[in-house]
Amino acid sequence: MPANKQLVLSLALVFTAAVAIAAAVKTMSVQNRKAELRDTPTPFGRVLSSLSYGDKVTVEEQNGPWMKISMAGASGWIHSSALTTKRIIMASGDGAQTAASSYEVAMAGKGFNPEVEAQFKANHKDIDFKWVDRMEKIVIPPPKIKAFVEAGGQTASSQGGAQ
């Protein structure tokens, strides 16, 4: 084979490999106020650490709706609903708040913030929000949720939900 053809073929192979590697590496951002990194791709996996809104992660593989990600030396599983391909930029100013907090951004994404809640309550004085407020404060640890699911004869699935 002539040297020119061999060089062109080699360059084509190198280019194809580079494109394949670039396609395999996928950077995403955390779109939730708080997201938990787990050791297994299930809702009951041990929590390794917490990620915050705007954190950048590299997706290594996918198992159903779960993504194995790496970030700053940490690696684990996170549900795909907590990630976005959109570029999230967190900015700060010179002492003045020029960007929304992660809480404000997460709530705005749902069309809700403390001001909207206050206005809704003011316009609906006949509604008692006491129980809603109490329920919002309830935190059930994953081991208790797992025990509840298992007591009902169900198992956790990497696809999400009980089977």
CATH number at residue 68: 2.30.30.40
The pLDDT value recorded for residue 161 is: 52
- The number of domains in the chain is 1
The pLDDT value recorded for residue 41 is: 92
The pLDDT value recorded for residue 21 is: 47
pLDDT of 160 higher than 60 = no
In a domain, 39, yes or no: yes
Under DSSP, the state recorded for 72 is: T
Residues 39 and 3: their CA atoms lie apart, in Å, by: 51
In a domain, 123, yes or no: yes
More confident residue, 152 or 118: 152
Domain encompassing residue 69: 25-151
Residues 149 and 154: their CA atoms lie apart, in Å, by: 5
Q: How confident is the model at residue 78 (pLDDT cuts 50, 70, 90)?
A: very high
The pLDDT value recorded for residue 19 is: 47
In a domain, 5, yes or no: no
pLDDT tens-place string over residues 19-72: 444 455 589 999 888 889 999 998 888 889 989 888 999 999 999 999 999 988
More confident residue, 116 or 148: 148
In a domain, 158, yes or no: no
In a domain, 137, yes or no: yes
The strand pair at 83-84 and 26-30 is best described as antiparallel
In a domain, 51, yes or no: yes
| Helix/strand/coil for 42 | coil
In a domain, 20, yes or no: no
The pLDDT value recorded for residue 18 is: 45
In a domain, 64, yes or no: yes
The pLDDT value recorded for residue 12 is: 61
The pLDDT value recorded for residue 69 is: 95
pLDDT tens-place string over residues 86-117: 877 766 554 444 555 656 655 555 556 677 77
